[in-house]
Amino acid sequence: MNLFKWNLSTNSLRMKLALSVVIMTLPLVGMLIYNNFYAINVVREQVADSYKDTLSLYMDQIDVSLNDVDSYMNTIAFGNDLLSIGQSVTDDEYYTAKIFMFKSLSKDIALYRSVNSFFVYEEKRQEYMDIPNTFNFSNEEKESVKNYIIELIQHQAIVKGNLTKRWQYYQIGNDHYLIDIVQAGDAYLGAWISMDTLLAPLRSLKMGKEGEILFANDQGEPITDTTIVQDYGIELHQNLTDYYLSGSNKKFLVVGEHSNRGNFSMITLIPDKNILANLPYLQRIIWIITIGSMFFIPIGLYLMRRAFLTPISRMLLAMKKVRGGNWSTQVDMQKSSDEYILLGESFNAMMTEIQKLRVNVFEEQLNKQREELQRLQQQVNPHFFLNALNIVFNLAKVKNFELIMEMTEALIHYFRFLFRSTTSFVKLSDELEHTRNYLNIQNLRFPGQLAWVIDAPYYLMDTPVPPLIVQSFVENSIKHAVTMDDEPIDIAMRIKFFDEESGSRMKITIKDTGCGFNNRVLEELQAGRSVQNDKGEHTGIWNVQRRLSLLYDETVSVQYYNDKETGGAVVEMILPTNPKMEEMS
């Protein structure tokens, strides 16, 4: 499975090869996709410009028509015709002017086909006169328009002072209208146009299936009878200087044009799919190439992986095994290219030679380590010899034969252990017994100055440990902490068992109540360096560290520090309980 596991490192050959292929193909795919969207935008822009020109033409015609009506009503309003109605004193004068106005408007309204009706309203007499252009409107509709206009005039809600956009949009019931009103004294002249009537000539424009043309007010609300805006969630923006796409369920191209004579706009909605109806072949080719590239790139990567990366993966796997210590690894390149077959055969031949050389070197190094270990263990033997003879000599001078006998017996056990401790491991019980003998000897040397305690569980007594590892640290404590002038020194040796994920371990703690390690020595010990001066001090510590490194490799831990409460030196060793042993006495 590891052979086919992709390496996600950015520095890996797989990643670099994949990135190279992507970098080569991505610009092409990107250009195809860009060309596709560019062609779509060009078509949309051309269609939008075409409809924009058409809408501008129609809106200009509507504005011209509305402007003609404005001019006509201004002529009548600011002449004597409308003013005579508003200034009539008697009823005869009023009705004469009204009849004249009716005949004049009835004759001229045929010239303004976009106008549905002229009307005249006299405010004092509250009389309304309607001059319709056609009779396509019901009496109910004309009556509702009449009442709405009268209410506008009475509430002074008509637009005044706007000489450009005089035509205002109003919704009367469910219908939509444009109304323009001018005033002369107490008389009002106006015209109203139904938005449906204004829109009728524009329905001949081809909007395509589901397309539509409509009017909207300045708030972006449709003012013609339509449901397309609500059905498809189309937004009608107030700014129609440019086209845009809108719609939730279906996209529509929105193109519009504002009126210069009224507060409304003409908008056309063209389904986007109809606009792109002439591009299916080009789009299909572009998407086929794009999707095909996405399909063939993995195939190409897979073929290159089989041809190049898989043999390299086999070689890397073999090298990882070698790095892990498997020097008998061989790589199979028989189903690869000729170059990889030659590389595999060369690798296998090289590994065979390395295996032979490694066996020879390993045996030579093992012999050297054995010799060094024996020298280290023998190095401890004379270390205590002179002090022991000095103690016996002093006891003989005072003729203390009982202490001489006790001292001699302790020395016999002590040196017997030393002379047989040339093996790599001894039982923990033997090491602790040897340490007790050593402490008994030192107690005779420093009477009343030394106390100790050894705390070790019974079930660990058969655990193999290197010889002299406890006694060497105890000896170091006595050497640097015990004198006849200072306070008595306590030495505690505690051993306990604990289990870790890496295996069972045994923790040996040796602490005293002396002055502790000085800062320089502590830094050197914690850094794992040898601490020796010209007199050979701390040779015992270095000896133990070296032997532990030779016997346990990386599976052992030795820590040095000073106790926070007493200030004395503390040594902690964590050793495996099941080391690989050559022999044990």
How does pLDDT run across 411-467, given as a tens digit for each residue? 777 777 766 655 678 889 988 988 888 888 888 777 888 889 999 999 999 999 888
68, two tokens = 């003609």
Backbone phi and psi for residue 80, each to the nearest 5 degrees, phi listed first: -95, -15
d(CA 50, CA 55): 9
The contacts of residue 375 (CB under 8 Å, 6+ apart) are: none
CB of 514 closer than 8 Å to CB of 336: no
Backbone phi and psi for residue 27, each to the nearest 5 degrees, phi listed first: -60, -40
**Residue 113 confidence (pLDDT):** 85
Q: Check: CATH 3.30.310 for 78-199?
A: no
**Residue 571 confidence (pLDDT):** 93
CB of 263 closer than 8 Å to CB of 165: yes
User: Which residues of the chain form CATH 3.30.450?
Assistant: 78-199
| Fold classification of 384-576 (topology level) | Heat Shock Protein 90 (3.30.565)
pTM above 0.85, yes or no: no
**Residue from 95, 76, 268, 96 nearest 189 by CA:** 76
**Residue from 189, 154, 195 nearest 172 by CA:** 195
d(CA 81, CA 96): 11
357, two tokens = 């050389």
d(CA 21, CA 299): 12
**Distance from the first to the final alpha carbon of the chain:** 47
Strands 175-184 and 187-194: antiparallel
Angle at 545 between CA 525 and CA 467, to 5 degrees: 140
User: Which residues of the chain form CATH 3.30.565.10?
Assistant: 384-576
Place of tokens 């063209």: 270
CB of 191 closer than 8 Å to CB of 75: no
**Residue 366 confidence (pLDDT):** 54
**Residue 485 confidence (pLDDT):** 63
**Residue from 10, 5, 94, 24 nearest 300 by CA:** 24
**Residue 454 confidence (pLDDT):** 92
* Residues paired with residue 167 on neighbouring β-strands, in sequence order: 262
**Residue 365 confidence (pLDDT):** 58
477, two tokens = 């404590």
**Residue 585 confidence (pLDDT):** 47
**Residue 277 confidence (pLDDT):** 67
d(CA 187, CA 456): 123
**Residue 381 confidence (pLDDT):** 45
Under-50 pLDDT residues of the chain = 1-7, 380-381, 582-585
Q: Is 173 helix (H, G, I), strand (E, B) or coil?
A: coil
